Amino acid sequence: MAIVVEDGTVVSGANSYLSLTTVRAFATARGVTLSLTDATVEVQLVKAVDYIAAREAKFIGERKSASQALTWPRVVGATDLLVPQKIRDAQGFVVMAQALGIEIPPLADPVEPFAVKREKVGPLEQEFAAPEGAATPVWPKIAGADDALGFYYDGIPGLFYRFFGKT
């Protein structure tokens, strides 16, 4: 598989935010050795993009283009976010976690289990439809990645909005 890096210009066929060389340097700088087999690291890069994409509903703004392959770049009002370094870092942290044995499930799996059957917040009510006894895989929590991604979650006061003077 070839890695095609998204650089913020909506690259056709993009499947990663980092190149093999960049993710290897990122991991080495943090004392983690990745597989010597490029094909293994390529799969880890793509799974790391899936990890980020699974959180797309939480991100601020919207995709820069309806035709883009990946979740980033994004646009918030008049601010074009391209592919922020924190998003690239998150991908690197998820690749390192995989190298250390953490499994990343396929993108089609839910981000969280359906632990609540019915939830009501104010006038809104939500019902989850997981059948009784169904296996509902949980995405692992990867601290470095989740911290970096959280910077771009919608509605979190004090992070992106405060940083860029948005209210």
Residue 142: inside a domain, yes or no?
yes
Q: For residue 27, tell me if it sits in a domain.
A: yes
Query: What integer pLDDT is reported at residue 149 of this predicted model?
Result: 83
Kindly report the backbone phi and psi dihedral angles of residue 16, in degrees, each rounded to the nearest multiple of 5, phi listed first: -160, 155
| pLDDT higher than 70, residue 119 | no
Which residue range is the domain that position 88 belongs to?
20-108+137-163
Residue 48 in any domain: the answer is yes
6 pLDDT band, cuts 50/70/90, is very high
The whole-chain average pLDDT of the chain stands at 82
Q: Is residue 44 part of a domain?
A: yes
Angle at 127 between CA 124 and CA 128, to 5 degrees: 140
Measured distance CA(153)–CA(167) in Å, rounded: 14
> Is there a domain that residue 4 lies in?
no
Q: How many domains is the chain built from?
A: 1
Q: Does 47 reside within a domain?
A: yes
Residue 106: exposure state from Cβ atoms within 10 A (0-12, 13-18, ≥19) = exposed
Question: Which pLDDT score, from 0 to 100, does residue 136 have?
Answer: 52
